[in-house]
Amino acid sequence: MNELKTPMTRPKTGEASSGAKLSPDLIDETLPTPLYHQIFLVLRDRIRDGAFPAGAILPGEQELTRLFDVSRITVKRAMNELAAHGFVTRHRGRGTVVTHNTGVPIVEGRFDTLFDALKRMGLATDVQLLEVEDLEADEDIAVDMAIEPGAPLQKAIRLRSLEGDTFSYLITHVPGEIAARYTREDLQTQPMLELLRRAGAEAVEADQTLTAVAADPQVAAALKVSPGSPLLKIKRIMRGPDGRAVQHIIAFYRPERFRYQMRMVRKDSEGGAWGAADLA
């Protein structure tokens, strides 16, 4: 791989580190994804991991053309996409400057104490209510929640931001009789677990699955990532003391903003199975 080198002059403060390696083997013209978008993804990831910090000047179009061994128009489209997504600004005579802040915090911890962790870290989150409607449970939701198809539910879609940047895209379904105990305004300001507690439907157990998915266009637009970007998807069914489902949630997290950790313990000292005891 060719290593991106700084100019012959002494590098200025904020310029890219020499560890940002770029080369033709980072893209593949046999893939269905256009080359310009592949280059966009490579540069975006370099920006996010700090190889090109905020204030750095990216290599020029001619240099990137050489490094990736592609046409200049391909590089230009990639750079325009970076600018459109807010990662860089382009200045005539100065070059392309990184504007993305890689210093945003990464949240770790238990999902049930996520907002406690945020408070301890002194971080502020904002919620945007994108959609709320009353509907009937379809068969998939009904099976997950162990309710009858057609049962009344409230569906809410919310976007949560952390320190001014998008963090998670949340789709929740709550039984209608529970949702009637809080308001639309509450949905815009309070965590769902707090709303459930106040509604007398506090959850005591949950079934949860985690997968990695590619962002579909709707979710990608809300989270300000490119369609097809990797996301952490969590589906969780929360249940009350009587075993009935009080919430069904599908959450999409940007992986560079949220990290899921699990601590495992042996059940006994005689070679027993490992079990998930806690989340670090």
Domains annotated for the chain, with CATH where assigned, are: 24-98 (1.10.10.10), 107-259 (3.40.1410.10)
Mean pLDDT of the chain: 78
Q: What confidence tier does 270 reach under pLDDT thresholds 50, 70, 90?
A: low
Query: When comparing pLDDT for 111 and 52, which is higher?
Result: 52
pLDDT for the residue numbered 59: 93
Residue with tokens 């400057």: 97
pLDDT for the residue numbered 230: 86
Q: What confidence tier does 263 reach under pLDDT thresholds 50, 70, 90?
A: low
For 198, half-sphere exposure in the C-beta direction (CA atoms, 13 angstrom radius) is 13
Give residue 53's identity as a one-letter amino acid code: P
pLDDT digits (tens, 9 = 90+) for 201-235: 988 888 888 888 988 888 988 988 878 888 989 89
Backbone torsions φ then ψ of 169, nearest 5 degrees: -120, 120
Separation of alpha carbons 107 and 98, rounded Å: 23
pLDDT at 156 over 50: yes
Separation of alpha carbons 231 and 128, rounded Å: 19
pLDDT at 273 over 70: no
The two tokens of residue 217 are 């266009």
Separation of alpha carbons 167 and 159, rounded Å: 8
pLDDT digits (tens, 9 = 90+) for 103-133: 555 555 444 454 455 444 344 568 899 999 9
pLDDT at 15 over 50: no
The two tokens of residue 114 are 């996520």
CB of 152 closer than 8 Å to CB of 172: no
> Helices 35-48 and 61-68, interaxial angle, to 10°?
110
From its phi and psi, is residue 69 left (phi > 0), alpha (psi between -120 and 50) or beta?
Answer: left
CB of 127 closer than 8 Å to CB of 189: yes
